[in-house]
Amino acid sequence: MRTYVIRRTLQAIPLLLGITVISFLIMKLTPGDPVSLMSMSPHITPADLARMRHNFGFDQPVYIQYFKWLSALIRGDWGISLERGRPVIDIIANRLPNTLQLMAVSFVISVALAIPIGILSATKRYSWFDYSATTLSFFGVSMPVFWFGLILIVVFSVKLHLLPSAGMMSVGADSTDIFDRLRHIILPAVVLSLSGIAGWSRYMRSSMLEVVRQDYIRTARAKGLAEKVVIYKHALKNAMIPVITVMALEIPGFFTGAVITETIFAWPGMGRLYYDSVMSRDYTMLMAILTIGAGLVVIFNLIADIAYAFFDPRIKYD
């Protein structure tokens, strides 16, 4: 097991490096560097531009620029945001907690709904509940998230005046006012959890159906255990293994999904920051967020693999 963990971790390193190469190349190969945006100004002479390019290091070969960027990245120097003029890492440190908060609440909502729905669908297979859950999950994956968000705003903010449509807290509210914060997080968290609920409930259902077919479940029933004990003590534990793996694989999806959700609800997190940075061509910011996003995918892939090996002793990896 330990060698497996070490080997998988080592395998992730070239992947991470490749990711940094691609993020860097995308930024370099797209037309126009940040300096050329400033050349719109009549006060700047070509000599100024050349000097600025030299100062930023843009006049050096691409691979040298890459290695400089990479070594700085590893040392924790993520550069200065071109748009905001402050260190990238400070801005991210400021925004990341807001996104993590949103992700955590959405994750909890997704799990709390998907698991019970999946179990009920499987134990009451072909019942009206199962059919409605299936249909609803099709609705869930087919719904454009931003439309779902807008509809929720129209219903709950515009018509019913129940919940706020934007921001993390009311203007002038005390930042420790938990109730106010909860009211603000409900709509964006529901929107962000939509795909998790739809997808995971299906996984839970099919994984459960797979498990209840096994011999040890028949044995448990044959020795006269109550159906509840069979399902929740014997079947559920094993049915959860693949579901946990899928969840780990999809956690980075909450991070990406936040781009749209945070844009709709003006949530001051990483997603909104990414969108704003794209609009202002803030290259240093973008490279940092792209690398973090891709890094999260690699890390959670690794966690999923290791979790699978850990929870399922039938699988031997060496």
Partner 1 sequence: MAKSKHPDPAANEVANGAVNTAPVQSPGRIIWKRFRKHHLAVISAVFLILLGLVAILAPMVAPYDYKTQDLGIGRQLLPVGTTGHILGTDELGRDILSRLIYGSRVSLGVGFASMAVSVIIGMVVGALAGYYGGVIDNLLMRFTDMILAFPALFLLIVLAAFIGPSPTTIILIIGGLSWMGVARLVRSSFLSLKQQEFSEAARALGLQDYRIIVGHIMPNAIAPVIVAATLGVAYAILYESALSYLGLGVQPPLPTWGNMLSQAQAYLLNAPMLVLFPGLAIFLTVLAINFLGDGLRDALDPRLKE
Contact call for residue 134 and partner 1 (CB under 8 A)? yes
Among 38, 80, 163, 209, binds partner 1 (CB under 8 A): 209
Among 38, 173, 298, 309, binds partner 1 (CB under 8 A): 298
User: Which span (77-85, 179-187, 235-243, 252-260) binds partner 1, by CB under 8 A?
Assistant: 252-260
Q: How far apart are CA 133 and CA 137, in angstroms?
A: 6
Count of positions on this chain that bind partner 1 (CB under 8 A)? 50
Interacting residue with partner 1 among 49, 70, 89, 145 (CB under 8 A): 145
Q: Decide: is 61 part of the binding site for partner 1 (CB under 8 A).
A: no
With contacts defined by CB under 8 A, name the span among 11-19, 42-50, 89-97, 171-179 that binds partner 1: 11-19
Query: Rule CB under 8 A: which of 157-186 touch partner 1?
Result: 158-159
Q: Which of 63, 67, 138, 317 binds partner 1 (CB under 8 A)?
A: 138
- The whole-angstrom separation of Cα 84 and Cα 268 is 15
Q: How far is the CB of 200 from partner 1 (least distance, A)?
A: 15
Closest-CA residue to 137 (of 90, 204, 235, 56): 204
Q: Is residue 100 at the binding interface for partner 1, with CB under 8 A as the rule? A: no
Least distance in Å: CB of 131 to partner 1?
Answer: 8
The distance of closest approach from Cβ of residue 101 to partner 1 in the complex, given in angstroms and rounded to an integer, is 19
Residues that bind partner 1 (CB under 8 A): 14-15, 18-19, 22, 26, 30-32, 126, 134, 138-139, 141-147, 150-151, 153-154, 158-159, 205-206, 209, 252-253, 255-257, 259-260, 263, 274-275, 278-279, 281, 286, 289-290, 293-294, 297-298, 301
